[in-house]
Amino acid sequence: MSEFWDQKHKANSKLWLTCTKPEEVFQIHGIQLPAPDTRILDIGIGNGDMHRYLVALGHNVWSEDISLVALKKVRPGRGIRESEIHLHGPWDLVLCHLVLQHMNDKQIKRLLSQIYLTKTGIMSLQFAELLDSRIESPWPNHFFRDLETMERIVLDTGFRIQWIRNPTDWLWNGETIRWWVTRIKQLAEGVQ
């Protein structure tokens, strides 16, 4: 899968990299902009806008991605692989927007098991559910899940859901996609 994303990053694909405006991501996730110097992990670099935005606000930011090409879009040393996440925490804030629909359940569990939050730290996850689909697999390389499935993944990896945003439904090619945003906390106390 990393070759697929390398290609999309090389081509700067607007369709696949989405590039949601950083202010919009905070709005969608219902998160206030944190005070400067917060330790933040952004998962899924896209075009790197979120990383640059948070750096400009004075935050301590790292960004993780499956694509080595994507990692080069952020400051040297601040683009990291999944296996390096635990080296740079504990995190005050972890953002994950428009990434989980590209990961299966096992991959999400592996990702979450790398993450240690501070005592007050939160992780905000966006994921998507496909409602009433009449087609077996209309979206190749996409993984849709409902809230119960996500809650099970979260609990299995030592987190709990703290807050759920009212979901938003939108139509895409005749399918209804439900967008969820959940905020999760670590069950065992995070490292200080």
Provide the binding-site residues for ligand SAM, judged by CB under 6 A. 5, 16-20, 25, 43-46, 64-67, 70, 97-99, 102-103, 107
69 versus 191: smaller Cβ distance to ligand SAM: 69
- Residue 152 Cβ vs ligand SAM, minimum distance, rounded to whole Å: 19
As measured in angstroms, the least distance from the Cβ of 84 to ligand SAM is 12
Quickly count: other Cβ atoms within 10 Å of residue 173's Cβ: 8
Q: Is 37 strand, coil or helix?
A: coil
Distance of closest approach, residue 16 Cβ to ligand SAM, in angstroms: 6
Least separation in angstroms between residue 1's CB and ligand SAM is 6
Minimum distance from residue 95 beta carbon to ligand SAM (Å): 8
Kind plus residue range of the DSSP H or E element containing 79 = strand 79-80
Choice between 25 and 153, CB closer to ligand SAM:
25
- Residues 92, 94, 99, CA angle at the centre, nearest 5°? 180
Task: Give 28 or 191: the residue with its C-beta nearer to ligand SAM.
Answer: 28
Q: 4 vs 119, which CB is nearer to ligand SAM?
A: 4
Q: Which residue's beta carbon is nearest to the bound ligand SAM? A: 46
Q: Are 149 and 105 in contact (CB under 8 A)?
A: yes
Yes or no: say if 155 and 177 are a contact pair by the CB < 8 Å rule: no
Q: Name the minimum Å distance from CB 134 to ligand SAM.
A: 25
Contact 187, 151 (CB under 8 A): no
Q: Which of 146, 182, 169, 145 is nearest to 31 (CA)?
A: 182
- Report in angstroms the alpha-carbon separations of 69 from 13, 47, 81, 137, 138: 13, 11, 11, 29, 28
Between residues 42 and 187, which has the closer beta carbon with respect to ligand SAM? Answer: 42
Q: Select 80 or 161, whichever has its Cβ closest to ligand SAM.
A: 80
**102 Cβ contact list (under 8 Å, min separation 6):** 1, 141, 142, 143
